[in-house]
């Protein structure tokens, strides 16, 4: 038996969450079972009262899914994780776990378009309102947006698609000084390049569809709980988070904070939200995600070095107005990148071509090796025109606010040989 909790990142990627005994398979098996056998009804009662740990129905927990949940929690330095059926569901659950009708959240304006949609329209329909602020906002601006009914402050480590950054420690302090939970979507850097919990994030979310899997084989999400947020303190100070502290009548009056301590948030997300809303991933998706995670460190290093080469080429190209890639010395986020992403940022960059919307379309159409793909952060290089795809629902003003210019191209640099990638990008720009 090998305990990898204190080992290095790559070791956790390969071995975390699964420790086979003698004669057991080295590859975590896929367990497609919906249910699990018990011997007495009393045992089942205990499960339903949260008095007994154990698998009982795969909507809530499954052995294959547990392996990747433990692995990602370990990589991020959290006390636990919950895998969801998509990244959208992860962000939805991260908020619904602490906010309900009448509540409010503060979010960065330039988030992934799907998250902006979710917060602006769907959450509003459920009675949760959002104040959007710039992700460059300082302490005072974050505090000014927080209201008595604010339950979360939300941002992305690296925004999709503009690759701009938030000063995580400043936002964490502004949230915590006001007894508010700080949630960070860390999809692009992955825990290889940044562990937001180390900088004050209370909850970290992922579209694990992206780099964590990395091969574009399945859609899934992940919520990681730092276990550090003081829900009971916040409840005492400001009445927030009663649903974590006060009895849940659907579990015979259990108080999550009293019974589960530092794991209160993630246990509640699983046994309450997953039970009732059911955004459950399939064990096969969990198996594929686990396979992808094994090479996360290796892949991220190469994605990043390939993207660096492309960013440097684009920066000096006369057809290009500017490049968004925080690792470039000339990028306005470079100082933040040095602090929060010292080893590198990701394989995704975006750039604005001269000639606006039409030129951007022509460049993308001229790519041969680079796929046109409604995806990002996978082994194949792929490109997309955000203004007419992922952010299509936004008005011109919203696009401008989110920093998405008509000529912006998002390029996700893959793991093909860098000479082949550069040749394709050069040729497309020349054409």
The span of 82-90, 274-282, 360-368, 412-420 binding ligand PLP (CB under 6 A) equals: 82-90
* Bridge partners of residue 158, in order along the sequence: 165
Q: What is the DSSP letter of 282?
A: P
* CA nearest neighbour of 257 among 269, 276, 243: 243
Of residues 76, 103, 179, 185, which one binds ligand PLP by CB under 6 A?
185
CB-count burial class (<10 Å; 0-12, 13-18, 19+) for 392: exposed
Binding of residue 115 to ligand PLP (CB under 6 A):
yes
- The count of residues interacting with ligand PLP (CB under 6 A) is 15
| Chain position whose Cβ is nearest to ligand PLP | 87
Binding of residue 110 to ligand PLP (CB under 6 A):
no
Binding of residue 200 to ligand PLP (CB under 6 A):
no
Binding of residue 62 to ligand PLP (CB under 6 A):
no
- Total number of residues shown for the chain: 431
User: Which contacts (CB < 8 Å, 24+ apart) does range 98-102 have?
Assistant: 98/151, 98/152, 98/181, 98/241, 98/243, 98/244, 98/265, 99/123, 99/128, 99/151, 99/152, 100/126, 100/127, 100/128, 100/243, 101/126, 101/127, 101/128, 102/127, 102/149
Of residues 209, 280, 285, 350, which one binds ligand PLP by CB under 6 A?
209
Q: Which residues, 151 to 170, sit near ligand PLP by CB under 6 A?
A: 156, 160
The span of 64-72, 108-116, 171-179, 288-296 binding ligand PLP (CB under 6 A) equals: 108-116
Binding of residue 135 to ligand PLP (CB under 6 A):
no
* CA nearest neighbour of 191 among 210, 172, 163: 210
Binding of residue 112 to ligand PLP (CB under 6 A):
yes
**Smallest gap, in angstroms, from Cβ of residue 69 to ligand PLP?**
16
**Smallest gap, in angstroms, from Cβ of residue 192 to ligand PLP?**
16
The span of 65-73, 87-95, 241-249, 310-318 binding ligand PLP (CB under 6 A) equals: 87-95
Q: Which residues, 379 to 408, sit near ligand PLP by CB under 6 A?
A: none
Binding of residue 219 to ligand PLP (CB under 6 A):
yes
**Smallest gap, in angstroms, from Cβ of residue 119 to ligand PLP?**
12
CB-count burial class (<10 Å; 0-12, 13-18, 19+) for 327: buried
* CA nearest neighbour of 179 among 138, 230, 126: 230
Binding of residue 114 to ligand PLP (CB under 6 A):
yes
**Smallest gap, in angstroms, from Cβ of residue 162 to ligand PLP?**
12
**Smallest gap, in angstroms, from Cβ of residue 376 to ligand PLP?**
6
Binding of residue 190 to ligand PLP (CB under 6 A):
no
Binding of residue 285 to ligand PLP (CB under 6 A):
no
Q: Largest Cα–Cα distance in the chain?
A: 74
Binding of residue 378 to ligand PLP (CB under 6 A):
no
Q: What is the DSSP letter of 2?
A: -
Binding of residue 69 to ligand PLP (CB under 6 A):
no
Binding of residue 207 to ligand PLP (CB under 6 A):
yes
**Smallest gap, in angstroms, from Cβ of residue 219 to ligand PLP?**
5
Q: What is the DSSP letter of 248?
A: B
**Smallest gap, in angstroms, from Cβ of residue 303 to ligand PLP?**
15
* CB contact at 8 A, 368 and 424: yes
The two structure tokens encoding residue 47: 């499960």
Q: Give the dihedral sign, CA 37/38/39/44.
A: negative
* Bridge partners of residue 410, in order along the sequence: 350, 384
Q: What is the DSSP letter of 121?
A: I
* CB contact at 8 A, 364 and 426: no
Of residues 86, 137, 280, 306, which one binds ligand PLP by CB under 6 A?
86
Nearer to ligand PLP, 176 or 391 (CB): 391
Binding of residue 412 to ligand PLP (CB under 6 A):
no
The two structure tokens encoding residue 174: 């502004």
Of residues 16, 28, 87, 361, which one binds ligand PLP by CB under 6 A?
87
Give residues in contact with ligand PLP (CB under 6 A).
86-88, 91, 112, 114-115, 156, 160, 185, 187, 207, 209, 219, 221
């Amino acid at each position: 038996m090998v305990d990898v909790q204190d080992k290095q990142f790559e070791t956790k990627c390969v071995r975390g969450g699964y420790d086979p005994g003698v004669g057991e398979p080295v590859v975590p098996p896929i367990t497609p079972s919906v249910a699990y056998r018990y011997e007495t009804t009393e045992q089942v009662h205990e499960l339903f009262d949260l008095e007994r740990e154990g698998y009982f129905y795969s909507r809530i927990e499954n052995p294959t899914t547990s392996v990747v949940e433990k692995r990602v929690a370990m990589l991020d330095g959290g006390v636990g994780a919950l895998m969801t059926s998509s990244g959208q569901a992860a962000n939805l659950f991260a908020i619904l776990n602490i906010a309900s009708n009448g509540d409010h959240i503060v979010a960065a304006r330039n988030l992934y378009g799907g998250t902006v949609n979710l917060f602006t329209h769907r959450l509003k329909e459920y009675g949760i309102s959002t104040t959007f602020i710039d992700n460059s906002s300082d302490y005072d601006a974050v505090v000014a947006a927080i209201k008595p009914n604010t339950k979360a402050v939300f941002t992305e480590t690296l925004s999709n698609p503009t690759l701009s950054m938030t000063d995580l420690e400043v936002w964490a302090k502004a949230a915590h000084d006001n007894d508010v939970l700080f949630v960070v979507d860390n999809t692009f850097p992955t825990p290889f390049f940044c562990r937001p919990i180390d900088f004050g994030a209370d909850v970290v979310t992922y579209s694990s569809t992206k780099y964590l899997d990395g091969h574009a084989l399945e859609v899934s999400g992940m919520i990681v709980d730092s276990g550090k947020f003081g829900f009971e303190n916040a409840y005492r100070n400001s009445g927030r988070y009663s649903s974590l502290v006060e009895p849940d009548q659907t579990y015979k009056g259990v108080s999550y904070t009293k019974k589960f301590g530092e794991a209160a948030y993630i246990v509640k997300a699983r046994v309450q939200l997953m039970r009732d809303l059911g955004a459950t991933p399939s064990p096969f998706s969990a198996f594929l995600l686990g396979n992808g995670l094994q090479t996360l460190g290796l892949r991220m290093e190469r994605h990043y070095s390939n993207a660096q080469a492309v960013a440097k080429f684009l920066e000096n190209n006369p057809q290009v107005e500017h490049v968004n890639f925080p690792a470039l010395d000339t990028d306005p986020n470079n100082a933040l990148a040095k602090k929060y992403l010292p080893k590198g940022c990701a394989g995704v960059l975006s750039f604005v071509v001269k000639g606006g919307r039409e030129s951007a379309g022509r460049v993308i159409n001229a790519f041969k090796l680079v796929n046109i793909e409604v995806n990002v952060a996978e082994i194949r290089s792929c490109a997309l025109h955000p203004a007419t795809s992922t952010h299509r629902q936004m008005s011109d003003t919203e696009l401008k606010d989110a920093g998405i210019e008509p000529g912006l191209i998002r390029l996700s640099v893959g793991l093909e040989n860098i000479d082949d990638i550069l040749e394709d990008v050069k040729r497309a720009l020349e054409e």
